[in-house]
Structure formats: structure tokens, C-alpha cells
């Protein structure tokens, strides 16, 4: 899915002689040749200098509108997820995640994490999601109807675009020049129950001699997919059973127990070998939620004078997502029962009761995600020297998330109900099943809670640039662009006070953020043409982040402020020994400033199970309950104001060869180093470090030496080194039976080494389960008069589980064979200026491998594989 093109030497030289021009989509621009011939110049992702050649010193994959249509995918997120350089798959919104994450999707280039991939819309940053504290854009929020093409820059680009462009850049280009009205409708029908999708869009545009305006509206809706319709509940790998059950289980010093008679009468409950009633929660959950989205986009420009143009863009996206997780397990503060309680069936103190509020209903979450964006700017030209192009812009973006999590449970009220001796939760009085079930319903209703989460990310940016041809003489030319940006960001996320206090089970809460950030940047980019068809490019950028936020934890509230700044360069060299061959290399540094959530999230309370080996292994310390592996320690998770910026560098080298006018080949090698990477710290790791060092600043102990609380969160602890090869080839064949086009796009990860902390060794995960070292796509298309057809194959390489077998000393982990998904479609352009397309995605209903190491009902990597199965679709388009 890559567009590769080369231009002739004469055209290329005419461009360099004409000068650099403006950045960021100022419409069509032209370079004046000596013979007064006009050549179109475009901005290619990876450089702010416009040019006539799609190929630059940096490798760029271009997925145009035709390529997108041939994939048969229903969202931009799905298209990006199938990209070969989206090495290990990406996050897709699934039920069971808080802060609005269940309704979002992202892209993860090179497997370095979504926050290391910068997503642009028309060359400008997309607002981030509140669930990522503004650091990750939601690729599912972009309506397909507005997409003209997607450009993926396959190397680091912080020098050009700023922080976050560590692994690369995804630039989504929208439609701008349109005249008339176009209606589109599509419907998708998977072979499983659920997942039906409908999309309707209308695009209209109006052009005059001095400008144009376009307006696009899209409605998109899809039905939920239930987990039970995807996973085989009878498969031995299915392990979605929980001791937090609708029939309560209890533990005493003598062991586990439950009312097994009630267990036998209750839906989705089974008995285990320990005398417990286990709840099969995978029977009731949604994998993907119900989604409804309405989107609007308008682009407009107006030529005020011959040398001055006004341009702008306005967009809005309003989406509702309804997800579902199983009834709430009362697990934040696990209830107990004294031996004196009249409904205690044991005569011993019950140290924990594992119960689930199924009688109250499943945890349904409604997430409302709204985003608004408006851009206005002036683009001009001044006849000074060789000519000076300039532009100035102001942009305001807002992204809000409101999430309502129903049927949660207040732990304190549950404990009070048990202590009040009003509820015989273990049915010691032998009530009828109906009476016992009604009593449990009454208990849970008395403790019912609706969790509320709100997040808002607001950005205002002012920027400008100038570009010019500094000089041109014989075979030497030098073009330049310089610019500055200033952005003001406000980010706030809050949850309801009860959730923040750590007394609510079933939701997420407490990680509140109230922070501001100012970003200031200045950059210069140069492009130099040299004799013998050499071109050199260089860019340097200074970027400064100043932020302030309040941090609330176990010791109270503290206002913190910090500053991150960096100077990042990038250099590139290209050479055309002949017009059909381009050889190139580039090197660039990159960095990522910590997001405001990572720094300023207030500490939320959790209870983590772990063994305090420092205390329990000390001679004379005896406490079987405290030293039980299931003993839970009070743990505060929150932001870390002492975080440092992540740093990286990337190197690419390769070439593009037009073998003939109809056949081209690209081969590129990349190597990326990612240092000081921010990751969350596990409680087991904190206690292990404390045992090794003898103490820890993150563990607070009481006078008896036992843990009072642990402070966890995020730190700069990881290093990643990865390298690989990208291969792309495209061939066009014209015959009397029609035109045939073939494209192959393959990415091979040579190594993916990760070091989780300073004490551990680098481990190469390339080719290991969940990290395939091969990914690719093959597309064959045909067109003849008004007929078209396409066959697309998505390939994911085999993966070995040997690392996990050695790690766990258990041979139950399996290797997984290569995965192929085939999509096919047919289209007809009829005489009424419209088209009809029918197709099937996953034609052969390929099944993704079941991962035993997941040991759960969702035993497939949903972010990597298609789990929906064979899907039929139809698309209708009509233009007036």
C-alpha cells in the first residue's frame, strides 16, 4: 500500500531553482520553470519544504483513498492496524477499561508504544485522548469520508514535528478540493452475531475563481460484539472463572467454603475443587461496544489578493460508546464477617468474602467523546529577494470525555449490610432460591453507585513560518524554511469523590489531574542541491515544555512545576546516480516529554497482593496471615513529578528504484534506540528492590516493621533497541483484458531488545509471542472500463513461545503458525455517475491463534488479529 514515484532531473532541478514554499496545506503551489511551465509542488510528510517529488531523504508510506477502499476496513484505526510497520498491533477499544479508554483506538509504529507515534491531521497535531492524558490521538475518531490519503513517516521526526515523533509520524490528509455533492452509504455484516456496521456520508463543495469551501458529514454506527460469540467457552484454554462470584465464597483459617446447593441453582456458576463457586464472567461481557459517531469537517480558502490567501478548517466529532463488563466484584475493600455474626456458617472469623453483584446487573458504561477543532490562517507571498512565502495560523482544539459507569458497589455499605445481620448472604436459613436471590439484590441495591469520570483536553496554538530560496547557482541551490510555535494546554480529569476515596469497587477513580502546559518551539530546515545529483537536508528544532499541576497523595496536596527542553537535529542525504534510482540515508534525534497524567495524576488507592519478604524472612517474625502470598498491601498509584524526558534516535538507509515505468522497488533499513522510557512499576518489583537494597523510599513501614503503604507509579526505567527492514514493490501491467496492479509491502523486525531496568539484561523479543518479526500485505487489483476488483492479503508471521517456556519452566505455551487474512471486493461504476462495491473481509474465516499464556476468555491478541471473522459488506456511492 505504498505509492512510490520519481521525477525527472529537469523537473527536480526546476523545483530547487524555484525555492521552498509554505508548510501545512496551503493549497496548490507551483514552481516557475525557465520555460514558464508550471509544476505542482506538494508537502510530503517528513519535511516542511514543499517539492515535486514524493520521495525524500526520509521513507514515507502513502496509503491513498483507492488503497483505503481496497482494504475493505471500516475505520481509519483498522486501516492503520493492518499496516506492516504497525509491528505488534495497536490498542483497540474493548470493554473493561476506565477513563474512556474503552472507546478509543491508537497506532503503535515499530512496537515502541502509542505515545511514541505522533498523529497529525493535515500536518498539525491531533488533540490527545483524556485516557492517555492527551499524549495519544484516537484514530477511530477520524471519519473515513474525509480521508484523502494517509502518509506514514517511518523514522523519527522530532526535529521537524516536535516531541512524541520517536517511532514515526502518521499524517492523515483530508479532502479539500471538491465540487458538487456526493453521497456514500456502506453496510457491514459479520458472520457472527453482532458487529453490524452502517456508515452514511455526504460531501459537498463549491468553487469560485477566488476560493472554495467543502463540507463533509458522516454518520457511523456499529453494534456490540459479545465475548461469548467470539471465544469458545468449551475450549480448555477458556479460564474466565472468578472466585468473586454471584454465590459468595468465604475463607477462614480452615480454608475455603460456599453454599454449594445455591451454586448449583445459579446461572453462569460452576464448582471448583476447593469448595468454591466460580463465576463465568466471560458469558456476559461485550468485547467491542455499541458505537455511534457523528462527524463534520469543513475546509475553506479565499484569495484576498494575488499574494494573500485566507484559509481555515473546522471539524467536530461526537461519539457515544456503550461497553459492558461483568457484574461488580466487591474487591477494592474485600468484606469480612466476624464469628459472632448470626449468619456466619463456620463459627470462625471469615477473613474475606468474595462476592459479585450480579443481581444488581452488569457494569454498563456509557462514554461520550466529543472533539472540536478550528483553524484559521493567512498565507502570503512577498517579492523580496528570490521571493518570500509566509503564513500565520491560530488553532483551537477541545477534546472532552464523559464516562458513566453503572452498577458499581460502595464497599463500606456492603460491609455495613453484612455487619447489620440483615442479610443472610450464605443462605444459612435455607431460604428458597428466589428469596435468597431477592435478598442479595436488596443488599446490592442499597450499596449501588454510579461512577462518573470527566476529562477535558484543551489546546490553543499560534504558529507561523517563512520560506525562501536563499541562493541558486549552477548545480548548487539552497532553500530554507523557519518557523515558531506557541501552544497553551489545559488538561483536567476528575472522577467522583467516592471512587477517588478508594471505597468503590468495579470502576477506576482517583487518578485526577489538574494541570497546565505551555509549549514553545522554533525550528529551521534547510535543503541543499549539490552537483552530481546529491541533495542534503538538515533540520534543527528547539522545544520547551513548561508545566504545572497539583499532586495529591498519602501526604497531602503539593503543587509541582517543571520544565523540559531539548535541541534535536536531523540530517539526510540523497543521491540519484541515475534518474530512476534514489539512494538515501537519514539520522535524527528525538524526545518525548512526559504527559501531564504521568506527572500529575493524584494518587489513587489500590490493594495489591504481594509477599513482604523483607519482614517475613527476618528471623523471629511470624505472622501466617501477613505473610500469605494473597495478602494485600495498601498501595498508592499516582503521578511522578520527577520524571525526565524520554530520548531516542533513529537511523535509516535505503533506496527507491524505478526499474521500469511500471515497476518500482523500495528497500530500507532502520535502527531505533529509545532510552529513559517511562513505564509503570509493579509492586513486586518495588519489594524485590527493597529486599536487595535493604530499604526503599517507596515503602513506608510502621513501628512493627510491617508495611503501612507502598507508593507506586511511573518511572524512567526502560531501554528499547530495535532494527529491521522494510520492502515495498509495485508493478502495473496493462493488457487488453484490463489494467492489473500488484503491490507488496513487508516489514521484518531484525531485533527488538528491551531492558526493563538498570539491573536486568537486554532481552530480544523479536519473533516471540505477541511480537511477530514478520508482517506484510499483498494487493492485487484489476480495472477494465467500469469494472474493478481487488484481492488483499494481510500476513502476520509465526511466533515462538520458547522464551515463555524457559521463563516459567512450563511447556504448556505453544508456538503459533503464520496468519493470513484474505479480503476480496468487486466494484462497478454505473452510467448515473455512481458506483456499487461488494466485498468480503476475511474470506476464508481465518482464526487467530489462541494464546495459552493469556489463560482467559480473551485468549487472542485483539490488537494484532482479526477476531470478528468473515464479514460481508456493500458500498454505494452517488455523485451529483
- How does pLDDT run across 662-693, given as a tens digit for each residue? 999 999 999 999 999 998 887 888 888 888 88
- How does pLDDT run across 573-621, given as a tens digit for each residue? 999 999 999 999 999 999 899 988 888 888 776 667 788 989 998 999 8
Distance of alpha carbon 66 from alpha carbon 79, whole angstroms: 12
Distance of alpha carbon 279 from alpha carbon 240, whole angstroms: 8
What pLDDT is attached to residue 467?
93
Min mean pLDDT across 20-34, 148-162, 679-693 is at: 20-34
Min mean pLDDT across 70-74, 734-738, 744-748 is at: 70-74
Q: Identify the CA nearest to 547 among candidates 521, 522, 514, 523.
A: 514
**Cβ proximity of 744 and 727 under 8 Å:** yes
Q: Identify the CA nearest to 47 among candidates 36, 56, 35.
A: 56
Residues in the chain: 880
- How does pLDDT run across 219-247, given as a tens digit for each residue? 999 999 998 888 877 776 677 888 899 99
Which ranges of 730-846 would DSSP assign to H, the alpha helix?
A: 802-808
For all residues of the chain together, what is the average pLDDT?
A: 86
Degrees to nearest 5, angle at CA 655 with 650 and 656: 130
> What are the φ and ψ backbone dihedral angles of 154, each rounded to 5 degrees?
-100, 35
* CA-to-CA dists, residue 780 to 400, 731, 732, 739, 745, angstroms: 41, 10, 10, 11, 12
Sign for the pseudo-dihedral over CA of 608, 614, 618, 620? negative
3-class SS at 140?
Answer: helix
What pLDDT is attached to residue 607?
65
- Please tell me what DSSP assigns to residue 345: S
Min mean pLDDT across 315-329, 497-511, 526-540, 769-783 is at: 497-511
Given the DSSP bridges, would you call strands 277-280 and 699-701 parallel, antiparallel or unpaired? unpaired
Query: Mean pLDDT, to the nearest integer, of 292-316?
Result: 93
DSSP 574-626: EEEEETTEEEEEEEEEEEEPPPHHHHHPPPEEEEEE---HHHHTSTT---TTT
- How does pLDDT run across 76-126, given as a tens digit for each residue? 888 888 889 888 988 777 776 666 666 678 888 999 988 888 889 888 888
- Please tell me what DSSP assigns to residue 109: G
User: Which of the two residues, 337 and 24, has the higher pLDDT score?
Assistant: 337
What is the third-level CATH fold of 9-240+281-879?
Maltoporin; Chain A (2.40.170)
| 571 class by beta-carbon count within 10 Å (0-12 exposed, 13-18 middle, 19+ buried) | middle
Which ranges of 315-398 would DSSP assign to H, the alpha helix?
A: none
Return all residues near 760 (Cβ < 8 A) that are at least 6 apart.
none
Q: Is the pLDDT of residue 29 over 80?
A: no
Return all residues near 156 (Cβ < 8 A) that are at least 6 apart.
165, 166, 167, 168, 570, 588, 589, 590, 648, 649, 650, 672
Q: Identify the CA nearest to 367 among candidates 396, 399, 398.
A: 399
Return all residues near 809 (Cβ < 8 A) that are at least 6 apart.
none
**Cβ proximity of 175 and 104 under 8 Å:** no
Return all residues near 498 (Cβ < 8 A) that are at least 6 apart.
410, 449, 504, 509
Return all residues near 10 (Cβ < 8 A) that are at least 6 apart.
none
Q: Which of 270-274, 662-666, 862-866 has the highest mean pLDDT?
A: 662-666
- List beta partners, residue 468: 388, 480
Distance of alpha carbon 443 from alpha carbon 424, whole angstroms: 10
Q: Identify the CA nearest to 650 among candidates 574, 586, 572.
A: 586
**Cβ proximity of 188 and 220 under 8 Å:** no
* CA-to-CA dists, residue 435 to 511, 683, 774, angstroms: 40, 43, 58
Domain ranges within the chain, ordered by starting residue: 9-240+281-879
What pLDDT is attached to residue 31?
33
Chain centroid, CA 155 distance in Å: 18
* CA-to-CA dists, residue 563 to 589, 644, 708, 709, 825, angstroms: 19, 10, 33, 30, 53
Query: Mean pLDDT, to the nearest integer, of 756-772?
Result: 86
Q: How many helices (H) and strands (E) does the chain have?
A: 12, 42
- Please tell me what DSSP assigns to residue 132: G
Give me the half-sphere count of Cα atoms (radius 13 Å) on the Cβ side of residue 345: 18
| 202 class by beta-carbon count within 10 Å (0-12 exposed, 13-18 middle, 19+ buried) | middle
**Cβ proximity of 845 and 808 under 8 Å:** no
> What b/e string do you get for 102-127 counting C-beta neighbours within 10 Å, with b at 16 or more?
bbbbbbbbbbbbbbbbbbbbbbbbbb
Return all residues near 26 (Cβ < 8 A) that are at least 6 apart.
309, 311, 379, 391
3-class SS at 59?
Answer: coil
Does this model's pTM top 0.75?
yes
Amino acid at each position: 500500500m505504498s505509492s512510490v514515484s520519481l521525477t525527472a532531473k529537469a523537473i527536480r532541478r526546476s523545483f530547487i531553482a524555484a525555492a521552498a514554499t509554505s508548510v501545512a496545506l496551503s493549497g496548490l503551489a507551483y514552481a516557475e520553470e525557465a520555460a514558464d511551465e508550471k509544476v505542482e509542488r506538494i508537502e510530503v510528510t517528513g519535511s516542511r519544504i514543499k517539492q515535486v517529488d514524493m520521495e525524500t531523504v526520509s521513507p514515507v508510506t502513502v496509503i491513498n483513498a483507492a488503497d483505503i477502499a481496497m482494504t475493505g476496513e471500516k475505520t481509519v484505526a483498522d486501516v492503520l492496524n493492518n499496516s506492516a510497520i504497525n509491528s505488534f498491533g495497536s490498542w483497540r477499544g474493548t470493554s473493561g477499561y476506565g477513563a474512556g479508554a474503552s472507546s478509543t483506538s491508537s497506532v503503535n509504529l515499530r512496537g515502541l508504544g502509542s505515545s511514541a507515534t505522533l498523529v497529525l491531521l493535515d500536518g498539525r497535531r491531533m488533540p490527545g485522548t483524556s485516557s492517555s492524558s492527551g499524549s495519544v490521538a484516537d484514530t477511530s475518531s477520524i471519519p473515513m469520508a474525509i480521508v484523502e490519503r494517509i502518509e506514514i513517516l517511518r523514522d523519527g521526526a522530532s526535529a521537524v514535528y516536535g516531541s512524541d515523533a520517536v517511532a514515526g509520524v502518521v499524517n492523515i490528509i483530508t479532502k479539500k478540493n471538491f465540487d458538487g455533492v456526493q453521497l456514500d452509504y456502506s453496510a457491514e455484516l459479520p458472520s457472527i452475531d453482532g458487529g453490524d456496521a452502517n456508515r452514511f456520508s455526504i460531501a459537498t463543495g463549491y468553487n469560485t475563481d477566488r476560493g472554495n469551501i467543502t463540507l463533509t458529514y458522516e454518520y457511523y454506527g456499529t453494534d456490540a460484539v459479545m465475548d461469548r460469540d467470539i471465544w469458545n467457552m468449551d475450549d480448555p484454554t477458556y479460564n474466565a472463572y472468578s472466585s468473586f462470584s454471584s454465590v459468595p465464597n468465604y475463607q477462614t483459617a480452615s480454608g475455603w467454603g460456599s453454599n454449594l446447593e445455591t451454586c448449583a441453582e445459579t446461572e453462569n456458576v460452576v464448582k471448583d475443587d476447593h469448595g468454591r463457586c466460580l463465576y463465568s464472567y466471560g458469558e456476559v461481557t461485550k468485547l467491542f461496544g455499541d458505537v455511534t459517531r457523528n462527524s463534520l469537517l469543513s475546509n475553506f480558502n479565499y484569495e484576498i489578493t494575488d499574494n494573500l490567501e485566507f484559509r481555515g478548517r473546522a471539524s467536530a466529532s461526537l461519539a457515544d460508546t456503550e461497553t459492558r463488563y461483568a457484574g461488580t466484584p466487591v474487591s477494592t475493600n474485600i468484606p469480612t464477617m466476624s464469628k459472632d455474626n448470626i449468619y456466619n456458617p463456620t463459627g470462625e472469623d471469615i477473613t474475606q468474602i468474595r462476592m459479585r453483584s450480579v443481581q444488581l446487573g452488569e457494569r454498563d458504561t456509557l462514554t461520550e467523546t466529543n472533539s472540536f477543532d478550528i483553524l484559521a490562517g493567512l498565507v502570503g507571498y512577498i517579492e523580496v529577494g528570490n521571493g518570500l512565502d509566509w503564513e500565520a495560523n491560530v488553532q483551537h482544539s477541545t477534546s472532552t470525555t464523559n464516562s458513566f459507569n453503572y452498577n458499581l458497589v460502595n464497599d463500606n455499605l456492603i460491609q455495613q449490610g453484612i455487619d447489620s445481620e440483615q442479610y443472610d448472604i450464605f443462605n444459612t436459613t435455607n431460604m428458597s432460591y428466589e428469596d435468597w436471590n431477592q435478598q442479595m439484590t436488596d443488599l446490592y441495591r442499597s450499596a449501588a453507585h454510579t461512577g462518573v469520570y470527566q476529562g477535558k483536553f484543551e489546546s490553543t496554538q499560534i504558529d507561523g513560518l517563512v520560506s525562501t530560496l536563499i541562493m541558486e547557482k549552477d548545480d548548487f541551490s539552497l532553500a530554507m524554511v523557519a518557523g515558531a510555535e506557541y501552544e497553551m494546554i489545559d488538561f483536567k480529569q476528575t472522577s467522583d469523590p467516592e471512587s477517588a476515596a478508594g471505597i468503590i469497587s468495579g470502576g477506576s477513580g482517583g487518578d485526577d489531574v489538574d494541570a497546565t502546559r505551555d509549549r514553545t518551539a522554533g525550528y529551521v530546515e534547510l535543503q541543499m542541491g549539490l552537483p552530481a545529483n546529491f541533495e542534503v537536508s538538515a533540520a534543527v528544532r528547539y522545544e520547551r515544555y513548561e508545566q504545572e499541576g497539583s499532586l495529591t497523595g498519602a501526604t497531602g496536596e503539593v503543587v509541582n512545576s517543571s520544565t523540559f527542553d531539548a535541541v534535536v537535529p536531523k540530517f539526510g542525504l540523497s543521491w540519484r546516480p541515475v534518474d530512476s534510482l534514489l539512494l538515501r540515508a537519514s539520522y535524527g534525534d528525538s524526545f518525548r516529554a512526559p504527559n501531564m497524567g504521568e506527572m500529575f495524576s493524584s494518587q489513587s488507592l489500590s490493594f495489591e497482593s504481594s509477599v513482604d519478604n523483607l519482614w517475613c524472612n527476618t528471623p523471629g517474625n511470624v505472622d501466617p496471615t501477613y505473610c500469605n502470598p494473597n495478602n494485600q498491601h495498601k498501595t498508592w498509584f499516582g503521578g511522578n513529578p520527577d520524571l525526565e524526558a524520554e530520548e531516542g534516535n533513529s537511523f535509516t538507509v535505503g533506496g527507491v528504484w524505478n526499474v521500469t515505468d511500471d515497476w518500482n522497488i523500495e528497500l530500507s533499513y532502520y535502527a531505533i534506540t529509545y532510552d529513559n522510557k517511562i513505564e509503570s512499576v509493579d509492586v513486586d518489583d518495588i519489594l524485590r528492590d527493597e529486599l536487595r537494597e535493604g530499604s526503599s523510599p517507596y515503602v513506608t513501614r510502621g513501628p512493627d516493621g510491617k508495611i503501612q503503604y507502598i507508593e507506586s507509579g511511573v518511572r524512567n526505567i526502560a531501554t528499547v533497541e530495535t532494527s529491521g527492514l522494510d520492502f515495498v514493490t509495485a508493478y502495473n501491467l496493462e493488457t487488453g483484458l484490463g489494467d492489473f496492479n500488484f503491490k507488496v509491502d513487508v516489514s521484518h523486525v531484525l531485533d527488538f531488545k528491551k531492558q526493563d531496568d538498570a539491573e536486568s539484561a537486554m532481552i530480544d523479543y523479536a519473533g516471540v509471542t505477541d511480537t511477530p518479526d514478520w508482517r506484510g500485505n499483498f494487493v492485487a487489483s484489476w480495472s477494465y472500463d467500469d469494472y474493478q476488483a481487488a484481492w488483499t492479503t494481510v500476513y502476520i508471521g509465526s511466533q515462538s513461545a520458547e522464551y515463555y517456556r524457559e521463563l516459567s519452566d512450563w511447556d504448556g505455551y505453544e508456538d503459533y503458525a503464520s496468519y493470513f487474512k484474505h479480503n476480496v471486493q468487486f466494484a462497478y461504476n454505473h452510467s448515473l455517475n455512481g458506483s456499487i462495491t461488494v466485498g468480503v473481509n476475511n474470506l476464508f474465516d481465518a482464526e487467530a491463534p489462541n494464546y495459552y499464556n493469556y489463560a482467559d476468555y480473551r485468549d487472542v491478541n485483539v490488537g494484532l488479529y482479526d477476531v470478528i471473522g468473515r464479514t460481508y459488506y456493500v458500498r454505494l456511492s452517488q455523485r451529483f
